[in-house]
Amino acid sequence: MADRHTGTHGHVPVMLERMVELIAPTVAESSESSALSVILDGTLGAGGHTEAFLERFPWAMVIGVDRDKKELSRTTERLSRFRDRFYPVHARFDNFDEALDDADHPVVDAFHAHGISAGFFDLGVSSMQLDQVDRGFTYRDDGPLDMRMDTSTGKTAADVLNTYSHGELARILKTYGDERFAGPLARAIVREREKEPWTTSQRLVDLIYATIPASARRHGGHPAKRTFQALRVEVNAELDALRRVIPKVCSYLHLGGRAVFMSYQSLEDKIVKRELAELTESKTPPGLPIDLPNSAPDFHLVTRGSEKADEQENNKNPRAHSVRVRAVERTGYSHSSPPPGGTSVRASGSSTTYSARSESRHEAHPTGREQLVSSAQQSISHREDVEGEQ
């Protein structure tokens, strides 16, 4: 079954069956109650996981978010048979709710009225982006030093290399790439840009080879891997976006809803682990036998530590080797974290207003969930009738 979800460029979704299994309980619950579940795919990419969700759960709807306009357009076309149950959004994943504020679609109506059943995030750069040499993500082929996931806005990797100070370059190489030779590399980058501005990736790869000692190049994979990772993370503000989206997406989960995160490098996994630990931690002072009122955690961990791909998955899909999966489930609502549809939600310990539109949505649909589900189901039925006549 997984072979059907190869997406574009032969991309094979990582741990597809396990991802379906992780979100199935909350989506199945909605099926049993004749309600439509909304799944948020914050990293749509080629849409392999989303395609599986839509096929396995025919009562579910998916909001697919991606920063890459071209990839979003291709995937939307590929998933066009689900257009009544799928809504694409061009945005950075931590801005998903703001991007939906003025949208008009049954999926968006369901989101604003009742939140989501599941949030799903397959983090990092996609295989399709790595395969496109003109995007500049790969160190194996020469291309422009771009590295933007959204090519319509923001600074490029060349901008970083040509404008950041020695100290700033050393910091990002060390912090985001865990590069032992961050200082020497930063000095070499600054020295070389005085001769000629940075524009292409092969020149940077050559500099890295020339700067890192031969003995150090023999271990730890390709010597340019850490520098390219650091530049990509800086250009796209990936870690900042991840820190923001975890508490935000969890605030939109309804009771029993789950959020699942797939990380491929240690910096991402550390952030996911820390944020989920905060969400699942009791606020009762240590030593008390029971949780104080409004102190019990609203979430509990679904995974024990991080899950890894098994040998069969690794053999089938090399990208799975480094994946780490963590998931949480919503089990309650504290005073500072009301149900979806409210306006104030907890975000890393503070109270933040993410969207006031949910109140107007309730006013616009006074009959609530039943009318919303009926409207969406009528839309789907109408679409099926039209296709049957053709």
| Burial class of 121 by CB neighbour count within 10 A (0 to 12, 13 to 18, 19+) | buried
What's the pLDDT tens digit per position in 117-141?
Answer: 999 999 987 777 767 788 888 888 8
Distances (CA, A) of 348 to 111, 212, 281, 345: 22, 39, 12, 10
Taking 70 as the threshold, does the pLDDT of residue 349 lie above it? no
Taking 80 as the threshold, does the pLDDT of residue 352 lie above it? no
CA atoms of 66 and 122, how far apart (whole Å): 11
178 is in an annotated binding site: no
93 is in an annotated binding site: yes
Contacts of 90 (CB under 8 A, 6+ apart): 66, 67, 69, 72, 99, 150
Maximum distance among all Cα pairs of the chain, rounded to whole angstroms: 70
49 is in an annotated binding site: yes
pTM (2 d.p.)? 0.82
48 is in an annotated binding site: yes
All structural domains of the chain:
2-126+244-385 (3.40.50.150), 127-238 (1.10.150.170)
47 is in an annotated binding site: yes
Q: What is the mean pLDDT of the chain?
A: 84
CA-CA-CA-CA torsion sign (98, 92, 47, 76): positive
197 φ/ψ angles, rounded to the nearest 5 degrees: -60, 150
Q: What's the half-sphere exposure (Cβ side, CA atoms, 13 Å) at 355?
A: 26
What's the pLDDT tens digit per position in 215-238?
Answer: 888 887 899 999 999 999 999 999
129 is in an annotated binding site: yes
